[in-house]
């Protein structure tokens, strides 16, 4: 931040970001700024004073997720086995996005002015491209894999909706296992993670 904010201004900023994270994650990027302001207990003018553009607000709201994304791809890149590293990235990225619908939308759309989001996406794509190159060279990743498959994976993962947050994460883990099997050059058909269950003990209501 270019200058130290007064305590009340800093408190407003944190409440705005908290409300934005909650609403953007639950409802996606089309949440009106007025609704975010109302949830934060401030006026719209206060939101615009702290975040002059909507892109500024979205980039700040998802700063933690962008850092988490970078940590995941760095961990995958550091794995001695590139295929295992790629699998780790797929599993953890799917779970991260399953927990946060708004972040997925921001990541996939990457507003032209949201340089932080664009930069985070480009870093992830470059890291996965290098992992994919190494995994192909090792004979573990199918030869016709392309980076567009990563975007298709995230788009499909974004479509998972379950009755609870935990059921949604469980469904995403199972989906990631299917994706990994589809990407592998010689699928071993490893056991899938458990199917999600809702609180009634029935299968999660996916739609």
**pLDDT tens for each residue of 167-202:** 989 999 999 999 999 999 987 766 777 877 654 444
pLDDT of residue 78: 96
* DSSP helix/strand/coil, 129: helix
- Tens digits of per-residue pLDDT, 45-102? 999 999 998 888 988 888 888 889 899 999 999 999 999 999 999 999 999 988 887 7
pLDDT of residue 110: 56
Q: Which residues pair with 203 in a beta bridge?
A: 197
Cα 207 to Cα 70, 141, 147, 164, 192: the distances in Å are 30, 30, 27, 13, 20
Contacts of 18 (CB under 8 A, 6+ apart): 40
Q: Considering Cα of 85, then 90, then 95, then 101, what sign does the dihedral take? A: positive
pLDDT at 103 over 60: yes
pLDDT at 4 over 90: no
Q: Which fold has domain 7-61?
A: Arc Repressor Mutant, subunit A (1.10.10)
pLDDT of residue 207: 38
pLDDT of residue 56: 86
pLDDT at 44 over 50: yes
The more confident residue out of 107 and 13 is 13
Would you say the CATH fold of 63-183 matches that of 7-61? no
User: What value, to the nearest 5°, has the Cα angle with vertex 130 and ends 129 and 136?
Assistant: 90
CA 115 – CA 117 distance, rounded (Å)? 5
CB-based contacts of 14-19 (< 8 A; 24+ apart in sequence): 15/40, 15/41, 15/42, 16/40, 16/42, 16/46, 16/47, 16/50, 16/51, 16/57, 17/60, 17/61
- Tens digits of per-residue pLDDT, 137-155? 999 999 999 988 988 998 9
CA 124 – CA 138 distance, rounded (Å)? 21
Tell me the whole-structure pTM to 2 decimals. Answer: 0.76
pLDDT band of residue 204 (cuts 50, 70, 90) is: very low
Question: Which residue do the tokens 């899938």 mark?
Answer: 192
Domain boundaries along the sequence of the chain: 7-61, 63-183
pLDDT band of residue 163 (cuts 50, 70, 90) is: confident
Query: Domain 63-183 maps to which CATH number in 1.10.357, 1.10.10, 2.40.128, 2.60.40?
Result: 1.10.357
């Amino acid at each position: 931040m270019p200058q130290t904010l007064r305590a009340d201004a800093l408190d407003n900023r944190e409440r705005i970001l908290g409300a934005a994270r909650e609403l953007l994650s639950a409802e996606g990027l089309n949440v009106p700024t007025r609704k975010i302001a109302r949830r934060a207990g401030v006026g719209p003018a206060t939101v615009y004073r702290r975040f002059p553009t909507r892109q500024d607000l979205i980039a700040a709201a998802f700063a933690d997720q962008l850092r988490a994304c970078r940590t995941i791809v760095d961990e995958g890149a550091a794995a001695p086995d590139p295929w295992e590293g790629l699998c780790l990235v797929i599993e953890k990225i799917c779970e991260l996005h399953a927990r946060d619908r708004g972040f997925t939308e921001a990541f996939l759309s990457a507003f032209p002015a949201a340089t932080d989001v664009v930069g985070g996406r480009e870093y992830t794509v470059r890291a996965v491209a290098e992992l994919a190159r190494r995994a192909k060279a090792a004979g573990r990743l199918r030869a016709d894999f392309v980076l567009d498959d990563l975007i298709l994976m995230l788009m499909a993962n974004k479509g998972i909706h379950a009755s609870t947050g935990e059921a949604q994460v469980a469904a995403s883990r199972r989906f990631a296992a299917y994706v990994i099997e589809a990407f592998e050059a010689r699928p071993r058909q490893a056991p899938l993670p458990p199917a999600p269950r809702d609180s009634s003990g029935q299968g999660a209501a996916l739609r």
